[in-house]
Chains A and B, each alone.
Chain A
Amino acid sequence: MTGTCMNSCFPIPLGIDSLLWNLGSGIWNFLPIIYLVGSVTFIIGLKMLSHPATARKGNLIAAGGMTLAILGTIFLYRHNGERLHNYGWIFAGLLIGGVIGVLAARKVKMTAMPEMVSLFNGMGGACAALISVVEFNHMISVPPEGGIISTVIKAITDTGPASLSGRTLIILLGLIIGTVSFAGSMIAWGKLNGRIRDFAFRGQHIVNLLVLGVSVVAAAYLVAAIDNHVQPELSAGLELRLQADGIVRWLFYLVLLLSVVYGVLFVMPIGGADMPVVISLLNSFTGVAAACGGFLYNNPVMLTGGILVGSAGTILTILMCRAMNRSLKNVLIGSFGGAKTGVAKEQGQYKAISVPDAAVVLAYAQKVIIVPGYGLAVAQAQHACHELEKLLEDRGVSVQYAIHPVAGRMPGHMNVLLAEADVPYEKLQEMEQANEAFPSTDAVLVLGANDVVNPAAKNDPDSPIYGMPILEVEHAKMVIVNKRSMKPGYAGIENDLFFRPKTSMLFGDARQVLQQLITEIKQV
């Protein structure tokens, strides 16, 4: 056996021996080195992505490492000395996926970016789940030569009988996590583009836990079943047949089905401002599912890539929760959008303002702060917004932007949007700075933001967003709120700010209103 010779001839650690197996066939294999380079580029890429100046380069470096790893796998991968085949299928798949991927990513509007990330994330999860399905079928099928018998031969000579149940465990983990990530991402995608409404029913959390519990029990039973079948057969020789083949297969697809159900139920009731948190969490799920593939194929680059994203995604999720002053548990169990939306109190009268009046207010102010929100993104008004800012600056008005960490549908959403319109960095203020600046501000222009400026977060303990840090725009001398209508925001909560005496409502689409404002200010 090449494997045993390899292990005795060279002191090669067990984990990567399959990568170096073809040393026996006399060809030096560069694949482990390519995988090493790939892993390093992922680490460097993530590191560089964390600084504005190097971010783009970091992304390109990671992409380069990925390309290298993919090409290396296609041409250099050997298993038991055998190279890959089905090249036609592989290249056709790469071509189709590549073309669709580039087109989708190039065509997507800036507003739809979060949906796109969610969609791509779902694709990755589905990919991991499919790998598990194929590998499972491969493992339990018993063709004349190969299949489970050869697996067992390899297990005895190479790694020991444990590899089969361990393998089953990894396959199941990849299946469950990948499927949950896929189903959840699809729901998140549908919700963000408005195709799927929030949906919750009484006792949903118990049902969710039950579904998860049943699939975990089924998975554990599966591992145990395969383990029990392997052990006695091994001592009796190599005659191995999984008599329970039927039930094992049935259980596997039950786990797959339950994972889909769990993924859907998991995301369904979570709504409103919490969607970014969910996408970030599902992103880290897919990372872990990819890492399962790393165990399955003893593949270090899949392992590092997957786990890095898994841990980084979890931290990002926690950072986002912290920005909203809530715990992850609260986000996942607290059903933001689906729960009662606070008591509909008697609200006072709101005051509308006309465009010419608003133009005068802004033009004669000394200090203006703009608070952008999702409405700005929807209306694609970032360029008009920048134009207004420049116009006011030329008149000697100091203009700043106040960015709430979770404004829009993703953290940093507003930053990306304003960056597209060439708004300089130093004009963007974070929440703490902005809150200090509001009392000395003449006019605040709120563009399509709602929940992030809702004072209920501070003074109404019954409100679902109570405790979330907000931009305290009510401290400014005057607040002009641009909205399309009086409809509540994404979280479905009434906003008391709109009924305050200092607040004036400026109704209309953000872009049209901004363009009208620009024309008016030019005439002032």
Chain B
Amino acid sequence: MIASLLSFIQQHLELIYIVILSVFLGIEVISRVPSVLHTPLMSGANAIHGVVIIGAIIVMGEAPADNYLALVLGFLAVILGTLNVVGGFVVTDRMLEMFKSKSQNPNSKSQTAKSK
């Protein structure tokens, strides 16, 4: 068993490289986030792991027409995955919309203050 797991690793070596580099990249990117953005960031990350929808689409698209279990489960997976992606990005956008209107306000205020 160990031998076959080792050869599995060997066959997927470059995927494993991606994993290791992505781990460090994720740490690097997040460590610099101000606490103000923690909630939108969590929500944005939540939307990004919705990429699992691609697996659901493949499962659905490869299901044989007479395999009802695969069809139903695949269909359910596509719905749930889409919920994750769409809901996640829309919620994040809603949160950030508020930040945008706010980051413009100080500018406009300071401009009016200067003009006064």
Contact = CB atoms under 8 A, between A and B. Distances in A.
B55 A66 contact: no
Interface in B30-77: 30-63, 65, 69-71, 73-77
Max count, chain A CB within 10 A of own CB: residue among B22, B41, B49, B65: B49
Interface string B90-102: 1111111111111
Given A52-B103, A59-B96, A93-B82, A66 B51 contact: yes
B78 A93 contact: yes
Interface residues of A, number: 132
A415 B34 CA distance: 11
A300 to B, nearest CB: 6
B72 to A, nearest CB: 9
Nearest to B92: A59
Interface string A120-160: 11011011101101110110000000000000000000011
A131 B52 contact: yes
A298 B105 CA distance: 47
A469 interface: no
**Interface SS, B side:** helix
A74 B62 CA distance: 11
A400 interface: no
A100 B88 CA distance: 12
B83 A424 contact: no
B18 interface: yes
Contact of A290 (B3, B32, B51): B51
A327 to B, nearest CB: 18
Interface string A271-285: 000000001100100
Given A124-B80, A127-B84, A286-B49, A50 B35 contact: no
A419 interface: yes
Interface string A340-378: 000000000000000000000000000000000000000
Given A120-B88, A223-B1, A411-B35, A290 B52 contact: yes
Nearest to A44: B29
B80 A127 contact: yes
Given A97-B78, A105-B94, A279-B42, A291 B19 contact: yes
Interface in A268-325: 279-280, 283, 286-287, 289-291, 293-313, 315-316, 319-320, 323
A90 B90 CA distance: 21
A418 B4 CA distance: 55
A415 B36 contact: yes
A312 B38 CA distance: 11
B1 A166 contact: no
B8 A166 contact: yes
B38 A412 contact: yes
A116 B65 contact: no
Contacts of B29: 43, 46-47, 50, 308, 312
A389 B44 CA distance: 31
A169 B36 CA distance: 39
A97 B75 CA distance: 10
A52 B77 CA distance: 34
Given A135-B59, A166-B5, A413 B91 contact: no
Given A45-B44, A311-B23, 13 more contacts: A46-B30, A63-B47, A70-B85, A85-B61, A93-B82, A98-B86, A101-B88, A105-B87, A120-B91, A130-B80, A134-B69, A319-B38, A425-B36
Cβ-closest 7 pairs across A and B? A97-B82, A84-B61, A166-B8, A93-B78, A311-B26, A101-B86, A293-B55
Interface of B: 1, 3-9, 11-15, 18-19, 22-27, 29-63, 65, 69-71, 73-103, 105-106, 109
5 contacts: A84-B62, A119-B87, A134-B69, A162-B5, A312-B41
